[in-house]
Structure 1
Amino acid sequence: MTAATRGVEAPGRAEVGARTLRTDRWWLPPAATTVGLLIFVVYATVRAFQQQYFFADERYLTPFYSPCVSLGCASEPGSAHFGMFLPDHPLLPYAAISLPFLLAFRLTCYYYRKAYYRSFWLAPAACAVPEPHATYTGETRFPLILQNVHRYVFYIAVIVSVINTYDAIVAFRHPTDGFVVGIGNLVLLVNVVLLWCYTLSCHSCRHVMGGRLAHFSKHPVRYRIWTWISALNTRHATFAWITLGTLVATDLYVLLVASGTITDLRLVG
């Protein structure tokens, strides 16, 4: 079967001359997704390799640099909560130990797959809009078969979320002023709560908790947790986008405070 006889042009299919019969602006969602993801990728890439303004007020560590484990973290005393053991290099992000796994977790996320399949690969761009590809093998061949690592990198994403939680908690203590609460604390706290919502609403998390249970009645605790996760799962796409925004907002706040552009307002202490 040639490429011209596949898909919508295959024998037995209705002969429609138009590329699509849709009259609405079907291209807006994939276009908006493309713009949104590109903005985040560009910003995150620039900040990851900027290697400055990542630690503010001797306690605020941006999530883009957590955990800060490069020898370059020594430039900001107190930022390396778990030690420094990676070499300092301009092409090596300070949080190089976690960024690859977080990137893999996001890229293989079921929602993000749908998002960039439709927006970047046009597979398909929208319902009732033919995709331009002659063949389709799904996620059964390289490179898309690598999407199956999602269930494994999920566990690492949980560990990173724990680390981000630790960063948010220790930020309440200033090295000289003791316990303090500033606007930055609220920013970090809101970000980490939403990151947990995104991580725990993951389909893999839902499967880990109840996917293999044959009888829910025999596992009441796991069943109850599974129902909570299932409720979060219905908003997984929402949390996916919200956390992109809170990550940028949190990092931008730390950058502005660290660079002296704004001053962190203290509410307590």
Structure 2
Amino acid sequence: MTSTATRPGGGRRRAAIAAKTLRTDRWWFPSLITVVGLGAWVTYATVRVFMHKWYWVEEHSYLTPFYSPCVTERCAPEAAHFGRILPDWWIIPDAALTLPFLLLFRMTCYYYRKAYYRSFWLSPPACAVPDGHKTYSGETRFPLVFQNAHRYAFFAAVVISVINTWDAILAFNTPDGFGFGLGNVILLGNVVMLWAYTISCHSCRHIVGGRLKHFSKHPLRYRFWTFVSRLNARHMELAWITLGTLALTDFYIMALDAEWISDLRFIN
């Protein structure tokens, strides 16, 4: 039952509804899937990063992106393409130079903000469902004010994508010369998806086309802006796909290095 009240001036107020929401569909299901999916990936990635093993297949020059660039003293010399400059303390990830920036880029991503705001913080959990918090200050206070660093994290993500591309190219150069196997296909596929996700970023779209008053005077930037805009429409899908390709690439290289399976070779 609902009740109505009369305003002081004689008008009628809106109905007082006791229920938190009138939605009868499974509005909570997308948030549940996000919690399970992101939770599982973060757990897997954290365990792998601090395992400090099964990251480099010397026979085929495969390096997992979770350990790239490998810069601690425990890294295999052949895998340390940029030198071993950090101590081998357990708490330091082998890719300590890049992982913080990747985490910053993903955490401040516009899609991921929506995903974990709704699922983990319930702010709000769904449309037409009340916020799980009594007050809301937006992204103007600590710690959410740091979400504005996304535009700068994008440039770091571009550099890291270049490094991952370099790793994929080096993987064709095995100790026995040029080689090509299933691992190369997986590494290349992961790199392509990472680039698609990176340049589909809203910050990239603004960089290539923002603040232009006349696209007709900048035809090249307009074409690139159009291309980025098309990718941007798939930013959510690319965000999830790249989580999958990263995990698949890492698991495949781990399985090879642990000698659980053998690489399917096409050449050499």
Fold match (TM-score > 0.5): yes
- Once the two structures are superposed, the pairs formed by residues 97-246 of structure 1 within 5 Å of their partners are 97-175=97-175, 177-246=176-245
Bigger radius of gyration among the two: 2
Q: Alpha-carbon deviations, 1:104-150, whole Å to 9, x = none? A: 00000000000000000101100111112111111111111100000
More helix by percentage: 1
Give the Å deviation of 1:213: 1.2
SS at structure 1 position matched to 2:50: helix
Letter in 2 for 1:168: A
Distance change (3 Å), C-alpha of 1:14 and 1:195? farther
Question: May I ask how many residue pairs the two structures share in their alignment?
Answer: 255
SS at structure 2 position matched to 1:250: helix
The whole-number CA distance in structure 2 between the counterparts of 1:119 and 1:15 is 28
The whole-number CA distance in structure 2 between the counterparts of 1:181 and 1:256 is 18
On the 8 A contact 2:73/2:84 being kept in 1, the answer is yes
The whole-number CA distance in structure 1 between the counterparts of 2:204 and 2:74 is 35
Letter in 2 for 1:172: F
On the 8 A contact 2:73/2:86 being kept in 1, the answer is yes
1:69 and 2:71 are equivalent in the alignment: yes
The whole-number CA distance in structure 2 between the counterparts of 1:41 and 1:160 is 19
Give the Å deviation of 1:71: 1.1
Question: Sequence identity of aligned pairs in percent?
Answer: 62
Q: Alpha-carbon deviations, 1:137-189, whole Å to 9, x = none? A: 111111111000000010000000000000000101102x1001010000000
Give the Å deviation of 1:95: 0.2
SS at structure 2 position matched to 1:267: strand
The whole-number CA distance in structure 2 between the counterparts of 1:162 and 1:262 is 29
SS at structure 1 position matched to 2:266: strand
The whole-number CA distance in structure 2 between the counterparts of 1:242 and 1:15 is 44
Structure-2 residue corresponding to 1:18:
19
Please give the root-mean-square deviation of Cα atoms over the aligned residues, in Å: 0.9
The whole-number CA distance in structure 1 between the counterparts of 2:149 and 2:240 is 21
The whole-number CA distance in structure 2 between the counterparts of 1:242 and 1:26 is 23
State the 4+ residue runs in structure 1 displaced beyond 4 angstroms. Answer: none
On the 8 A contact 1:63/1:251 being kept in 2, the answer is yes
On the 8 A contact 1:58/1:78 being kept in 2, the answer is no
Bigger drift between 152-161 and 78-87 goes to: 78-87
On the 8 A contact 1:58/1:77 being kept in 2, the answer is no
Q: Which runs of 5+ in 1 are unaligned?
A: 1-11
- Once the two structures are superposed, the pairs formed by residues 243-254 of structure 1 within 5 Å of their partners are 243-254=242-253
Give the Å deviation of 1:58: 4.6
User: TM-score with structure 1 length normalisation?
Assistant: 0.93
Distance change (3 Å), C-alpha of 1:152 and 1:13? farther
The whole-number CA distance in structure 1 between the counterparts of 2:192 and 2:105 is 18
Give the Å deviation of 1:20: 1.0
Q: Which runs of 5+ in 2 are unaligned?
A: 1-12
The whole-number CA distance in structure 1 between the counterparts of 2:263 and 2:206 is 41
Letter in 2 for 1:164: N
Give the Å deviation of 1:19: 1.4
The whole-number CA distance in structure 1 between the counterparts of 2:255 and 2:148 is 39
On the 8 A contact 2:60/2:179 being kept in 1, the answer is no
On the 8 A contact 1:64/1:95 being kept in 2, the answer is yes
Give the Å deviation of 1:14: 4.2
